[in-house]
Amino acid sequence: MAVEDEGLRVFQSVKIKIGEAKNLPSYPGPSKMRDCYCTVNLDQEEVFRTKIVEKSLCPFYGEDFYCEIPRSFRHLSFYIFDRDVFRRDSIIGKVAIQKEDLQKYHNRDTWFQLQHVDADSEVQGKVHLELRLSEVITDTGVVCHKLATRIVECQGLPIVNGQCDPYATVTLAGPFRSEAKKTKVKRKTNNPQFDEVFYFEVTRPCSYSKKSHFDFEEEDVDKLEIRVDLWNASNLKFGDEFLGELRIPLKVLRQSSSYEAWYFLQPRDNGSKNLKPDDLGSLRLNVVYTEDHVFSSDYYSPLRDLLLKSADVEPVSASAAHILGEVCREKQEAAVPLVRLLLHYGRVVPFISAIASAEVKRTQDPNTIFRGNSLASKCIDETMKLAGMHYLHVTLKPAIEEICQSHKPCEIDPVKLKDGENLENNMENLRQYVDRVFHAITESGVSCPTVMCDIFFSLREAAAKRFQGDPDVRYTAVSSFIFLRFFAPAILSPNLFQLTPHHTVSDWLRDRGFLSRPGTAAWVRASVWLWGPTLWSVECVGSFLDLISSSGRRDPKSVEQPILLKEGLMIKRAQGRKRFGMKNFKKRWFRLTNHEFTYHKSKGDQPLYSIPIENILAVEKLEEESFKMKNMFQVIQPERALYIQANNCVEAKDWIDILTKVSQCNQKRLTVYHPSAYLSGHWLCCRAPSDSAPGCSPCTGGLPANIQLDIDGDRETERIYSLFNSYMSKLEKMQEACGSKSVYDGPEQEEYSTFVIDDPQETYKTLKQVIAGVGALEQEHAQYKRDKFKKTKYGSQEHPIGDKSFQNYIRQQSETSTHSI
């Protein structure tokens, strides 16, 4: 979800690898062990939770999480919890990384010390307030000053224990006085509108002077401050919860009698730092935070055109896309945006065919074909992830669910057998499971996506042409991808591919020996069992590989069968389909396919209600004020709207996006909608009395209709520009290498040996165009930053006082301006 910023779209995303924790403090009970899990939070909003690792003080999680971030945030936080069966889970410690510090740890495995969690330090949100100092002459002729403090509103306060009923206290504090006042409590909202004014009398020792309206002594001003504390009104016996504070010295009124600004709430320093960081243990993380600033499409035309014609360049090693793979530190970081861009414009098959053919020509042994982490291999992997996910689900999910429901042990390591288990029985169970999965795969050839079939066809043809004496090479070239790189990882880690919705299913499979951690000996053993002796002993494998590597095949049946797109637990409001009865909120299991959107009482039950996809007229956010609930959205139908609350902002965005995509082509889609609910006989947004009144706000922009590939071509080009720009020194080094090979045409220097340069002149020509295109975009970004620096006000709603990232930005721009001068 992009944020518009003066014609430029800003995207935020984060990819996290949660590794392991170590040296957690022991439990005070006799066992000393803990059952721990880790959560990922945007500020204090939980967006992801790992599995529970039982009975360990050094739990290994090994889980990946990726999300698009739909809102602004200050901290990316990680909390380690200890599960408690009888009471609320307790927090052991946390890691909080400020947004402006995320780049320090970019894509690096880092051990972070767990910090103590103190309620007074857990703050988020911002406050809008105004101060006004006015003079008052009393009946006795004494001049004094009155301070008016207006608390306008707050935004983004945390939800504490499922609710937020905030109020504020306003205190005028000094060395010899402390006068406090309090706002009303605002119920069930974390964006309260207070709009209350409090007056404080500020008496000055000096007399009134016409020369200056406020001729007060400087030391008096320095010693007085306004303190605003935010609280959550609680019914618990422990008292109200602290939400944050801010302190404003009255010297801000020196230049003017009035002052208005937004402030970030700050933690209260109450001296709770007696615990050493290493007392709580540490957590290993790898965080990749990306912020893309995307211009309009015409800015990217030169670079984009250069990339899209890569497949037509002879040799392909001289193309812009291949050069990106050469200069990037890891082929994977080049493959991700390249594949997405080329898929978006329909150029991925010819490009992969070209680089795969070039790689095959360089391969000397047919047994090592496509075994390395080359650009071709990574691009094929990424294409299969994007285009093949639904195929993966249709093929494997029924078999995985059947295995989970049968509850048969299949551990074949004699050392790990549990009491009562028999090795021969377990081997037979595992064999049955392998046969079930194997049969599902070999029968699925007709459903394989066309783009994958076309790529496999090109691999097969290139391999057969290169190694004409090896009749099996046409199969090994394809099987290494479809089995080892596509199906096997999904079977061994089904939760990573959304084949199992909960950690417990994967844990159950792993405990019984069916799944193992990738890279371990058990994983290799399981892989051999899955794809070893069975693979070539069954005749149907050859037919399956022939089918999926046939070019030009189209599969009309795959469009007709229902494809599960998303499912999960959410809260929905009763729709009022019955004439009588309360419209209360209930938890339901929601399920979306490419045919219908349904909800059920529980997972696996018959649907209680179904909305055909063609009946979805719009999917939009619902304003929080409608029901005083966050993360709500509405699915608008011809007769009514279904109001749904997701668990967090990331999940709400995911549901809105996928529902919008799947219904994008509906002929009767709305152009306007009501952003608030219809309650008490009228729409809360426009006050229209009729429940059938036309909407009062335009619907948000549509997304591409392709439910598999929601790709923004401009965003991917921006990412490629960023990669080229960060590796500019390597681009220049590659230019030197081209010059060296062209002039001397002899043994290449060692520093240039890492580059693949088949045609120095053609490669140099492309490099020159790439550097020119990257330079032009760099100038546009620099100009945008300069313009924004001139317009932006510190203390505005977008950049409240206390925004450290903006302070750093101001400092950088000031240094840049000084250097330029």
Tens digits of residue pLDDT in 315-352: 999 999 999 999 998 999 999 999 999 999 999 999 99
Where residue 534 falls among pLDDT bands split at 50, 70, 90?
very low
The whole-number pLDDT of residue 102 equals 93
Structure tokens at 773: 């295109």
* Strand pairing category for 618-621 and 110-113: unpaired
Q: What is the mean pLDDT of residues 397-423?
A: 82
Identify the CA nearest to 674 among candidates 621, 629, 597. 621
CATH architecture of 126-205+221-264: Sandwich (2.60)
Could you tell me if 40 and 67 are in contact, meaning their C-beta atoms sit under 8 angstroms apart? no
Task: Output the average pLDDT for the chain.
Answer: 82
- Between 686 and 543, name the one with better pLDDT: 686
Q: What is the reported pLDDT for 217? A: 43
Q: In this predicted structure, what is the pLDDT of residue 509?
A: 52
User: Which pLDDT value is given to residue 278?
Assistant: 55
Cis peptide leading into residue 315 (ω within 30°): yes
Question: 71: helix, coil or strand?
Answer: coil
Q: Which percentage of the chain shows pLDDT scores above 70?
A: 82
Work out the widest C-alpha separation in the chain, in whole angstroms. 112
pLDDT category at 507 given cuts 50, 70, 90 is low
564-575+582-698 folds as: PH-domain like (2.30.29)
pLDDT of 580 reads 42
Q: How confident is the model at residue 552 (pLDDT cuts 50, 70, 90)?
A: very low
Tokens of 488: 């096997």
- The three-class DSSP label of residue 290 is strand
Give per-residue pLDDT as tens, 50-66: 999 999 999 999 999 99
Beta bridge partners of 68: 13
Tell me the domain boundaries of the chain: 3-119+282-290, 126-205+221-264, 328-549, 564-575+582-698, 729-744+755-818
| Dihedral, CA of residue 581, residue 582, residue 586 and residue 592, to nearest 10 | 60
Q: Return the pLDDT at 749.
A: 57
pLDDT per residue as tens digits for the range 262-288: 999 988 865 444 445 558 899 999 999
pLDDT at 257 over 70: yes
10 Å Cβ neighbour count for 728? 15
Mean pLDDT of 490-504: 73
Tokens of 164: 């937020």
For residue 204, the model assigns a pLDDT of 55
pLDDT of residue 644: 95
With pLDDT > 90 as the criterion, what percentage of the chain qualifies?
41
Question: Would you state the pLDDT for residue 236?
Answer: 65
pLDDT given at position 218 = 40
pLDDT above 90 for 30: no
| Least confident span in 30-44, 370-384, 581-595 | 581-595
Tell me what the mean pLDDT of segment 198-219 comes to.
54
pLDDT tens digits, one per residue of 433-468: 888 888 899 888 878 888 998 999 999 999 989 898
Contact 691, 602 (CB under 8 A): no
Query: Is pLDDT above 90 for 702?
Result: no
Give ∠ CA 800-803-808 in degrees, rounded to 5: 130
Tell me: pLDDT of 531 over 70.
no
**Residue 174 — very low, low, confident or very high, per pLDDT cuts 50/70/90?**
confident
What pLDDT does 819 receive? 42
pLDDT of residue 237 exceeding 70: no
Give the 3-state DSSP-derived string for 519-561, with helices as H, strands as E and coil as C.
CCHHHHHHHHHHHCHHHHHCCHHHHHHHHHCCCCCCCCHHHHC
Domain 328-549 in CATH 1.10.540.10? The answer is no
pLDDT at 718: 95
Lowest-pLDDT choice from 375-379, 516-520, 658-662 = 516-520
**Closest Cα to residue 236, out of 84, 47, 88?**
88
Question: Taking each helix axis from N to C terminus, what angle separates 540-548 and 423-442, rounded to the nearest 10 degrees?
Answer: 40
Architecture of domain 3-119+282-290: Sandwich (2.60)
Domains 3-119+282-290 and 328-549 share a fold: no
- Res 4: pLDDT: 59
